[in-house]
């Protein structure tokens, strides 16, 4: 307190300090955006980890021979295979309750996964001064290069991460249980762990 009983005003930040503060804020936002990107991709990876054994075991059964000869490589195709397996008359009809509805919920985030995997990240400032995550996707066509962007706020990113996490947690539990039931009732097909890729240069 001063002698007059009033508080001293804080000195105004210098232009240099303001620039440094803005740089720090952008760096924090970029780290948060990358964390969001990583979480979304990892959630789908968790789902694929649980989905793979179910497809291998199911497609080994004669009832599902018409669905496919082997599990697909692309995620969307894997989901389609699981949908066909669940919809085909066979031993899984009564075991896959609830999976279809949860798969539909998951598929609403497939486009977001594609963007997170292939788009570049920029941090942009809204008119309200809020820092936003801008993802830019570049597609090379036969005669041109097209660019598309989506902008996500920190609040939206948290909401997406929370909702997707809930869906994937439920689906992985369902698929893991389904895999156990298949393994115990219908087949003893082993799951072989492969060695990690050689990182030597």
Distance CA 157, CA 2 (A): 46
Higher pLDDT, 185 or 133: 133
Number of DSSP helices (H) and strands (E) in the chain, helices first: 5, 3
Structural domain includes residue 77: yes
Write out the two tokens for 24. 């720090």
User: Residue 185 pLDDT more than 60?
Assistant: no
Structural domain includes residue 194: no
* Per-residue pLDDT tens digits for 82-130: 988 888 888 876 666 678 889 999 999 999 999 999 999 999 999 999 9
Structural domain includes residue 105: yes
- Total number of domains constituting the chain: 1
Structural domain includes residue 103: yes
- pLDDT for residue 173: 93
Note down the domain range covering 87: 20-116+156-185
Distance CA 126, CA 31 (A): 18
Distance CA 191, CA 145 (A): 43
Structural domain includes residue 3: no
Structural domain includes residue 176: yes
Structural domain includes residue 122: no
Ranking 36-40, 65-69, 188-192 by mean pLDDT, the lowest is: 188-192
């Amino acid at each position: 307190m001063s002698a007059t009983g009033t508080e001293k005003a804080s000195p105004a930040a210098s232009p240099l300090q303001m620039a440094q503060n803005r740089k720090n804020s952008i760096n924090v936002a970029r780290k948060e955006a990358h964390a969001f990107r990583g979480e979304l991709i990892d959630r789908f990876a968790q789902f694929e980890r649980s989905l793979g054994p179910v497809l291998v075991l199911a497609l080994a059964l004669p009832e599902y021979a018409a669905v496919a000869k082997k599990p697909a490589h692309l995620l969307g195709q894997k989901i389609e295979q699981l949908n066909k397996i669940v919809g085909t008359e066979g031993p899984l009809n009564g075991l896959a309750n609830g999976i279809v509805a949860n798969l539909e919920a998951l598929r609403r985030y497939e486009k977001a996964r594609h963007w997170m995997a292939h788009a570049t990240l920029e941090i942009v400032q809204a008119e309200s001064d809020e820092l936003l995550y801008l993802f830019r996707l570049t597609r090379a066509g036969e005669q041109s290069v097209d660019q598309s962007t989506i902008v996500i706020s920190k609040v939206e990113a948290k909401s997406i991460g929370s909702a997707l996490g809930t869906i994937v947690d439920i689906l992985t539990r369902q698929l893991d249980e389904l895999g156990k039931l298949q393994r115990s009732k219908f087949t003893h097909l082993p799951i072989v762990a492969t060695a990690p890729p050689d990182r030597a240069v």
